[in-house]
């Protein structure tokens, strides 16, 4: 006969471990907790990157230029709010920083996008491209001051053909006639 315990056949069952008793709720909560931690880490990294990008001189200068431009204010309807930048690329190589970005602009009358390409040598940012593309297709160049560039030679007024001169104008000399077949006849 086998040895029997003093309690007989009604001996207590050994108690299960914590995991065996709680795995049905612990596994999903643990997975969700890890996913939430990863999401929080990504959100913190994006927020930190966005706040550091907003503090960058190229971004602040571009937004200021757009806010002060009367053409942009007229097209977007006065004051507008800049949105979250997209298509952002910032790189530094040999002390030269290059930035390209697009910022959506939300105005009361219309929406648009601010496109900028800038380089930084030393302390100042120089924009190569800076324009606002309005949703109706209008493009407002913020680098165009409306004045001819100082390095460009003054353009001469185009000569008006004799047929298009007003009738009350003083008669001018007829154009000089050239001999056919001469090399100087060809104008490019």
Which domains are seen in the chain, by residue range? 58-141 (3.10.450.320)
When pLDDT is averaged across residues 151-169 and rounded to a whole number, the result is 49
Average pLDDT of the chain is 77
Band of pLDDT at residue 151, cut at 50, 70 and 90: very low
When pLDDT is averaged across residues 13-22 and rounded to a whole number, the result is 84
When pLDDT is averaged across residues 126-152 and rounded to a whole number, the result is 77
When pLDDT is averaged across residues 137-165 and rounded to a whole number, the result is 59
pTM comes to 0.56
Burial of 114 (0-12, 13-18, 19+ CB in 10 A): buried
Q: Which residues contact 174 (CB under 8 A, 6 or more apart)?
A: 162
Cα first-last separation, the chain: 122
So what's the pLDDT on residue 83? 85
């Amino acid at each position: 006969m086998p040895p029997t315990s003093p309690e007989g056949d009604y001996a207590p069952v050994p108690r299960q471990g914590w995991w065996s008793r709680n795995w049905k709720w612990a596994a999903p909560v643990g997975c969700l907790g890890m996913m939430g931690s990863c999401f929080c880490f990504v959100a913190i990294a994006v927020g930190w990157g966005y706040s550091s990008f907003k503090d960058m001189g190229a971004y602040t200068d571009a937004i200021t230029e757009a806010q002060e431009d009367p053409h942009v204010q007229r097209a977007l309807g006065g004051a507008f709010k800049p949105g979250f930048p997209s298509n952002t690329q910032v790189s530094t190589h040999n002390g030269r920083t290059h930035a390209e970005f697009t910022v959506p602009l939300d105005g009361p009358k219309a929406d648009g996008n601010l496109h900028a390409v800038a380089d930084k040598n030393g302390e100042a940012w120089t924009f190569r491209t800076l324009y606002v593309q309005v949703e109706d297709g209008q493009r407002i160049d913020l680098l165009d001051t409306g004045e001819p560039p100082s390095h460009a030679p003054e353009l001469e007024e185009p000569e008006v053909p004799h047929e298009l001169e007003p009738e009350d104008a003083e008669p001018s000399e007829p154009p000089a006639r050239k001999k056919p077949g001469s090399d100087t006849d060809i104008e490019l």
